[in-house]
């Protein structure tokens, strides 16, 4: 807390020198320090190895500003030589630049490194003002790190009196087909367009534009048939022809649709199906343009029955010279959330600054990306251990829209020109709905693919997205995580296990179940010959009777895992013929 005083009212932050004396050469699970991008794979190494590995850890991205050979991002996960687990992060990042950590690899001391603005200052302050918390979580049990709520609890309580409009959302979307290159966001193949001047009604479609009325209706039909809440549609609005990497200020207006996307027809069709459309506001990094249009854009959503928006900040920031994690953009992200609340709109912000628990204060921040998500599986792939680290790091600050549920791991099946492979088994894709917490969960693959695997798709339909209880059954960063979660208001439990590239056997007890009840356990698991590289779609589904005394020894393939649904059996007849665990 910086109190107001005679000689300290308006001032600039030049640097903040918080230090963390690590003392010994421990193991770190780290991302390169970068003012713009968090979309890297994790590197696991000794602290003294960070400098030598930095050049390979920094992989290409649309917007990136790495700042040091020993700079890393928070949340930083460490495992000491004495098997103590330590996490370093920050909480309640408000009106302040995001913190990174700079390692002195001679003394093994980390020092805070604040993101500078366009002219090199770190922050502009007016007292009285509180700075963000610096957090240290430590335990000899890795599960305690996952269960810690310190980051959330250091934020202020909910600021809204009415929260009835904030609801969990399970959704599908016109998205993965563009990410893989099967379809296009843009309506045409023009290289340059100008909003308000280019007349798209006189321009021929490229034939690959996915966000057209007929195709979106197909998604709405699928969502309604399988009880999904919403359908995300990207590429519906004018401007996608030259949105990318052009530093274009007036890039979107967030209300003008392409001629093949009928806003009125789709609004009424979605209503008739009992499904919402989910808005998409890509800004192309032009946050200033977004703020100019924000009220009009949110009112457009209200008028057309949208109550949630996925926002995006792909590319370098405008105003030019600002970065994704500087004070200017930290203020912008929160402004967008507060403004959305005025219209009772939930926000899922992608490419935004990494979360620090603000969803406690502003619960309409229903999700963030702010890390390397599933989309990178179509851009060459994520490391198999990626989802065994993210809950120890990124997810400590808030829920992540990881977009799981990819059932076709061979991307060339959608786009022959894309040789990427999704580095996972199908069973692990189901597990991620439990291990990657978010009240906003997407079934990211195409409906045509789900129709080929309706038995496995049943888990996505059944799995909860909001929870009364959470248990960590097994955990080791970089190796595996097994969660059990009790769905809010139903009594159903779900278990998910994510595994790294090494085949392992999971050993769990079901002692978290009610002692006086019997459950039907449906286990979705890897077959014995499953492997994320050679046989990723080899899965099996088995049913058993489970009680609080049951135990399970379950094989997990390389890059694999398993998912379990546990529903209360109301009668003996329901369990007839099932073996007991």
The CATH code of the domain that includes 296 is 3.20.20.70
Q: Are 522 and 565 in contact (CB under 8 A)?
A: yes
| 128 Cα distance to chain centroid | 34
Same domain, 131 and 201: no
375 classed as catalytic: yes
Enter the DSSP assignment of 228.
Answer: -
Q: Pairing state of beta strands 519-526 and 561-568? A: antiparallel
Residue 159 lies in a domain: no
Residue 218 CA to residue 579 CA, distance in Å, equals 40
Q: Both tokens of residue 385?
A: 């251990």
pTM metric for this prediction: 0.98
Residue 24 CA to residue 418 CA, distance in Å, equals 44
Structural domain total, the chain? 3
The catalytic position among 90, 177, 369, 375 is: 375
Residue 427 lies in a domain: yes
Same domain, 30 and 120: yes
What is the model's pLDDT at position 553?
98
Q: Are 25 and 48 in contact (CB under 8 A)?
A: yes
Residue 460 lies in a domain: no
Same domain, 58 and 127: yes
Residue 266 lies in a domain: yes
Residue 379 CA to residue 374 CA, distance in Å, equals 9
Beta-bridge partners for 136: 88
Q: Which residues contact 327 (CB under 8 A, 6 or more apart)?
A: 95, 96, 97, 115, 117, 122, 123, 124
Residue 299 CA to residue 340 CA, distance in Å, equals 10
Q: DSSP string covering 149-189, please?
A: -HHHHTSPPP--S--TT---EEEEEETHHHHTTSSBSSSS-
Same domain, 184 and 129: no
Residue 216 CA to residue 495 CA, distance in Å, equals 33
What is the model's pLDDT at position 7?
87
* Number of residues assigned to the chain: 581
Residue 463 lies in a domain: no
What is the model's pLDDT at position 243?
98
Residue 158 lies in a domain: no
Longest dimension (CA), the chain: 79
Residue 434 lies in a domain: yes
Same domain, 135 and 182: no
Enter the DSSP assignment of 34.
Answer: B
Same domain, 113 and 189: no
What is the model's pLDDT at position 1?
83
Same domain, 182 and 134: no
Residue 552 CA to residue 482 CA, distance in Å, equals 12
Structural domain including 199 reads 169-407+422-443
Given 101, 117, 147, which residue is the final one in a domain? 147
pLDDT, tens digit, 9 for 90 and up, residues 512-560: 999 999 999 999 999 999 999 999 999 999 999 999 999 999 999 999 9
CATH of the domain at 567: 2.60.40.1180
Residue 522 lies in a domain: yes
pLDDT, tens digit, 9 for 90 and up, residues 461-488: 999 999 999 999 999 999 999 999 999 9
C-alpha pair distances (Å), 265 with each of 90, 115, 122, 507: 46, 46, 48, 52
- 433 in helix, strand or coil? helix
Same domain, 96 and 217: no
Same domain, 368 and 509: no
Count of beta carbons in the 10 Å neighbourhood of residue 252: 23
Ranges under pLDDT 50 in the chain: none
Same domain, 436 and 532: no
Q: Are 510 and 546 in contact (CB under 8 A)?
A: yes
Same domain, 177 and 319: yes
CATH of the domain at 111: 2.70.98.10
Q: DSSP string covering 313-372, please?
A: --SS-BSTT--TTSHHHHHHHHHHHHHHHHTT-EEEESSPPPP-STTTT-TTEEEE--S-
Same domain, 143 and 192: no
């Amino acid at each position: 807390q910086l109190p107001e005083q005679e000689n300290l009212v308006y001032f600039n932050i030049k640097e903040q020198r918080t230090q963390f004396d690590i003392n010994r050469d421990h193991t770190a699970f780290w991302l390169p320090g970068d003012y713009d991008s968090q979309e890297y794979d994790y590197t696991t190494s000794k602290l003294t190895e960070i400098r030598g590995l930095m050049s390979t850890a920094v992989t290409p991205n649309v917007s990136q500003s790495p700042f040091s050979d020993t700079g890393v991002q928070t949340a930083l996960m460490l495992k000491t030589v004495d098997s103590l687990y330590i996490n370093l992060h920050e909480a309640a990042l408000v009106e302040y630049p995001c913190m990174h950590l700079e390692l002195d690899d001679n003394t093994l001391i980390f020092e805070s490194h604040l993101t500078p603005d366009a002219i090199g200052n770190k922050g502009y302050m007016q007292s009285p003002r509180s700075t963000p918390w610096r957090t240290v979580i430590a335990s000899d049990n890795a599960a305690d790190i996952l269960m810690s709520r310190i980051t959330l609890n250091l934020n202020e309580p909910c600021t809204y009196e009415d929260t009835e409009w904030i609801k969990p959302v399970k959704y599908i979307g016109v998205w993965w087909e563009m990410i893989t290159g099967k379809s296009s966001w843009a309506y045409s193949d023009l290289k340059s367009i100008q909003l308000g001047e280019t007349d798209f009604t006189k321009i021929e479609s490229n034939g690959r534009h996915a966000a057209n009325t007929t195709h979106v209706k197909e998604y709405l039909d699928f969502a309604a048939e399988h009880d999904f809440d919403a359908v995300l549609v990207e590429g519906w609005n004018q401007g996608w022809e030259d949105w990318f990497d052009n530093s274009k200020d007036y890039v979107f207006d967030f209300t003008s649709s392409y001629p093949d996307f009928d806003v009125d027809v789709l609004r009424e069709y979605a209503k008739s199906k009992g499904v919402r459309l989910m808005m998409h506001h890509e800004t192309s990094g032009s946050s200033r343009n977004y703020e100019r249009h924000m009220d009009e854009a949110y009112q457009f959503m209200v008028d057309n029955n949208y109550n949630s928006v996925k926002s995006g900040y792909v590319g370098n920031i405008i105003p030019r010279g600002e970065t994704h994690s500087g004070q200017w953009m930290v203020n912008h992200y929160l402004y967008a959330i507060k403004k959305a609340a005025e219209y009772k709109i939930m926000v899922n912000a992608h490419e935004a600054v990494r979360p620090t628990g603000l969803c406690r204060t502003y619960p309409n921040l229903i999700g963030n990306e702010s890390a390397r998500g599933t989309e990178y599986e179509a851009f060459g792939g994520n490391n198999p251990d990626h989802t065994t680290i993210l809950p120890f790091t990124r997810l400590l600050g808030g829920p992540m829209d990881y977009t799981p549920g990819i059932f076709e791991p061979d991307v060339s099946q959608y786009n022959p020109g894309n040789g990427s492979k999704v580095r996972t088994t199908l069973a692990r894709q189901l597990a991620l709905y439990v291990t990657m917490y978010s009240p906003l969960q997407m079934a990211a693959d195409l409906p045509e693919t789900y129709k080929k695997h309706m038995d496995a798709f049943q888990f996505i339909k059944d799995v909860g997205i909001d929870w009364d209880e959470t248990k960590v059954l097994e955990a080791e960063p970089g190796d595996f995580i097994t969660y059990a979660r009790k769905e809010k208001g139903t009594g159903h439990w779900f278990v998910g296990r994510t595994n790294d590239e090494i085949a392992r056997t999971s050993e769990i007890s079901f002692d978290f179940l009610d002692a006086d009840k019997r459950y039907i356990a449906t286990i979705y698991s890897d077959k014995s010959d499953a492997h994320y590289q050679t046989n990723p779609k080899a899965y099996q589904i088995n049913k058993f009777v489970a009680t609080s005394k049951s135990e399970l020894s379950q094989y997990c393939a390389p890059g694999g895992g398993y998912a379990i649904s546990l529903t209360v059996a109301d009668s003996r007849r329901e369990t007839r013929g099932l073996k007991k665990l």
